[in-house]
Amino acid sequence: MTESTPVEQPAPTVCPVLLYRDAKAAVSTLTEAFGFTADAVYEDEDGQVLHAELSYGNGTVMLGSQGGEGAFAEAMREDGTTAVFVTVPDADAHHDRAKAHGVEIIAPPTDQDYGSRDYIARDPEGNVWSFGTYAVQQGG
């Protein structure tokens, strides 16, 4: 018998970046309520999140605290809502987990005309997260 070798997936080439007033709370919500894995969280001496990378499946979201310095921080200074879609194997179970953690549910799990079952939630700072069974196909 031979051992199976894990198949490495390529690193994502598109990573949404979100800035939060309370990035530490965002990391908590995304990991505890939505099931992301915190791959890296860098904080300053005051505990403010400078940069974090959270993964789900083969996707990654980068986030940090609002109010930093530099061109990117300046471009992102204005408040605005961001929307992110995440493919999950079971939208109902994922929804139940998020709801149990007190996440605001905008739309419950619903079967869509295009074959997906998904739901919509809002994180504590107003960003919209859709979780569903639709699998994005690259190059098609």
Could you tell me the pTM of the whole model?
0.77
Report which residue type is found at 133.
T
Output the CA torsion sign for 33, 7, 14, 118.
negative
Q: Determine the Cα–Cα distance for residues 116 and 133; give it in Å rounded to an integer.
A: 5
Q: E strands of the chain, at which residues?
A: 17-20, 37-43, 49-56, 59-65, 83-87, 104-111, 117-122, 128-132
**Choice among 5-19, 44-58, 88-102 with the minimum mean pLDDT:** 5-19
Q: 120-135 pLDDT, tens per residue?
A: 998 998 888 999 998 8
Type and span of the H or E element at 97:
helix 91-100
Distance (Å) of CA 132 to CA 24, 37, 63, 75, 118: 25, 18, 22, 30, 4
